[in-house]
Structure 1
């Protein structure tokens, strides 16, 4: 599959838009910064999510031991992120914590006809896994609290 074919698949996909010439593709319906870059027949997926301490309000402190345990658990769970696709993994996922954010990155083989869907599945897995790790009892900043409220509303709607 040529690089131009892979790029065409992303450009035609309803849930991705170009991030600019040579800058890759960004999902249009996700909550955090994510990008899929195409190079040499492979797709590198990068997702940035806040750390637990960056997700809480300035009035709430997360103890270092809680932050470290939260990150270690997230890191272990994100090691499986590429299992949501049948694409071959070229570079194992990396998960790094810097300056209030967690940066996930993995490179997968671009499967013909599935490159954009594979990338989106990885992005959704990372975001969903991050969300599942939110710890109750903290005051979260408005964008994170909005996600929690929407999830609670969806759960109640599903029960009806």
Structure 2
């Protein structure tokens, strides 16, 4: 997926959520690295690829996480992320869905085809947010988290910048 069609670029470019970058767009409203590319599909449809990079459980913690916990966490995350299309307001059938380990990262990829650029932009944003939200819901208590995950947990427990106190994201 290399050249974003002009009509898709216009819609994605007009949204505050997306910023043009390289061959597609970066989602700027989440803490994880979410990217969207698009290419001409069959007939009136456009093919989209949404990729989200998140830290692995081991990369997100200060201490050692045992292999059984790491594997169980990854498998659970993979199963839960498969439900992302149910979180959209548009019926989306995935052409492909993968969750892979890439060194210290988990890489989630959704591929789908849609005819409406506005709906596709909404779906892409929803998928990236779904990955981040599902990841946070799957945080395992008892570990010291670092980096972006620690920031997400702090934001969730304090209610963001308002300073009001809330529960943990669990």
- Give the whole-Å Cα distance in 1 for the aligned partners of 2:28 and 2:19: 7
C-alpha RMSD over aligned residues: 1.9
Match in the other structure for 1:88:
92
Pairing 1:157–2:160 present: no
Match in the other structure for 1:15:
17
Shift of 1:158: 7.6
Query: Unaligned regions of 5+ residues in structure 1, if any?
Result: none
The SS at the match of 1:38 is strand
**Contact (CA 8 Å) 1:6, 1:110: kept in 2 or not?**
no
Shift of 1:97: 1.2
- Give the whole-Å Cα distance in 2 for the aligned partners of 1:77 and 1:11: 30
Match in the other structure for 1:79:
82
Task: Count the aligned residue pairs.
Answer: 154
| Structure 1 stretches of 4+ moved >4 Å | none
Residues 87-106 of structure 1: per-residue CA shift (max 9 Å, x gap)? 43242311111201111101
- Give the whole-Å Cα distance in 2 for the aligned partners of 1:158 and 1:83: 30
Shift of 1:34: 1.0
TM-score, normalized by length of structure 2?
Answer: 0.83
Match in the other structure for 2:48:
43
Match in the other structure for 1:118:
123
- Give the whole-Å Cα distance in 2 for the aligned partners of 1:84 and 1:68: 25
TM-score, normalized by length of structure 1?
Answer: 0.88
